Amino acid sequence: MPAPKGQSGVRVIPLIPAQDLAATGQRQIHFRNPPPLTLYVHVPWCVQKCPYCDFNSHALPGSAPAIPEDDYLAALTADLEAALPTIWGRRVDSIFLGGGTPSLLSGEAVEQLLTALRSRLPLLPNAEITLEANPASVEAGKFAAFRAAGVNRLSIGIQSFNPRHLKALGRAHDAHEARRAIEIAARYFDNFNIDLIYGLPGQLPVEALADLDAALAFAPPHLSCYQLTIEANTAFAAQPPTLPEADSCADMQDAIEARLAAAGYTHYETSAFARSGQQCRHNLNYWHFGDYLGIGAGAHSKLTLHDRVLRQMRWKRPEQYLAKVAAGTPLQQEFAVAAADLPFEFMLNALRLLQGFDAALFESRTSLPLLGIETALRQAERDGLIERQQQRIAPSDRGRRFLNQLLERFLVDRH
């Protein structure tokens, strides 16, 4: 998962692939300094595929007892080495192991992987290193090994504590395993996140709050609360379940935000809540339109060169990825983002932040003057979708509720 998971009711608008800037004759851009750089590592396997999941994840075949760790670690290392010329001399501020289910890896494999990454990258000494984990007992039993390997932040996919809702979501764990996994995580990690989903099939607002209260009993440093949405190419899209009405989901969202605010959590991004100083640094870099190198099956990269912003995608299917890396061609797609598309790409990320962004950040990350989108900004402000205070631009409460409509103001009309 190259970008932060979950949309909390926000539909992500697909980006239109841009042609090379020189070929299109569009405005040339120049970056004096690249933004911060982070590393994303994708592990594409899961025990089973959840019906709501549209991420690049693949159920292990019944004959496969475990991930082919040696082959995949070798491919990740080769993938990284091939990418090094694009990031020479740049420091890596954080690492995120996402999936899929990275906690299916053994502790030894995670240690080998992090050792390989550290030996090839200038990693920030206190870098945040996150690993996504599921709460099934076999995975929770590895948490101590992950901490010993160098992981310092765990993100646990609980989703719900309600047996009925766990079954509806196709989750492999039960409520007891969920609680046990959080207990183990809290024992070994000072910094961990709990993922919850609301707006589940047949869910009532009181049940959504019960899930939240169960999570708060463990005093997690960070919580991610997403609204369930039906994504294309999922089992739920093929056979849609009956979800709560929009007003009921809005009530759940309001109640969750109020309960977390009362508990001392800062709501800093559409779906993210944190204790003071516990915001996810890796995801903040996404939302600030920073750079990230993604390695692994289906991983995406966004890299700022001196005259362009480059987008990359690795081959998606695990067996295909392994073969392509072995052949020296890990990239399935690579293109430069047209200058005209950079404002929308920036806003797609930065307007998820409740505090918004400074005008200087827009100009630094896009190499474009804010004046170029001033008309759209004024219209959005007039319609009550954004608020402006001096040089800071942030979504209003209305803008957060109707984020798609706000983002569409910055789309380029291709017709």
Strands 58-59 and 45-46: parallel
C-beta neighbour count of 91 within 10 angstroms = 12
Closest by Cα among 30, 18, 10, 26 to 363:
30
User: pLDDT for 97-117, tens place per residue?
Assistant: 999 999 999 999 999 999 999
> pLDDT at position 1, please?
33
Please report the domains of the chain, with CATH numbers, ordered by start residue: 21-285 (3.30.750.200)
CA separation (Å) from 317 to 1, 6, 45, 167?
A: 14, 22, 10, 27
Q: Output phi, psi for 104, to 5 deg.
A: -70, -20
Instruction: Provide the token pair at 98.
Output: 């996402």
C-alpha–C-alpha distance, residues 68 and 304, integer Å: 33
Output Rg (C-alpha) for the chain, integer angstroms: 21
| 162 Cβ contact partners less than 8 Å away, ≥ 6 residues apart | 175, 203, 207, 210, 211
pLDDT given for residue 22 in this prediction:
37
Q: Where are the beta strands (DSSP E) in 134-198?
A: 153-159, 192-198
| Contact predicate 368/339, CB 8 Å | yes
Nearest to 146 by CA among 112, 197, 196: 112
Packing angle of the helix pair 342-350, 359-366 (nearest 10 deg): 130
H-helix or E-strand containing 108? helix 107-120
At 11 the three-state DSSP class reads coil
Q: Which amino acid is at 410?
A: F
CA dist., res. 355 & res. 353, Å (int): 5
String of DSSP letters for 262-277 = HTT-EEEETTEEE-TT
Structure token pair of residue 69: 């760790």
Q: For residue 9, how many other CB atoms are within 10 A of its CB?
A: 21
DSSP classification of residue 411: -
pLDDT value, residue 45: 94
Residues (pLDDT < 50) of the chain are 1-25, 415
Residue 391 vs residues 31, 353, 386: alpha-carbon distances, Å = 21, 15, 13
**Residue 227 main-chain phi, psi, to 5 deg:** -85, 135
Say what the pLDDT of residue 66 is: 73
pTM of this structure: 0.92
- Give the chain's length: 415
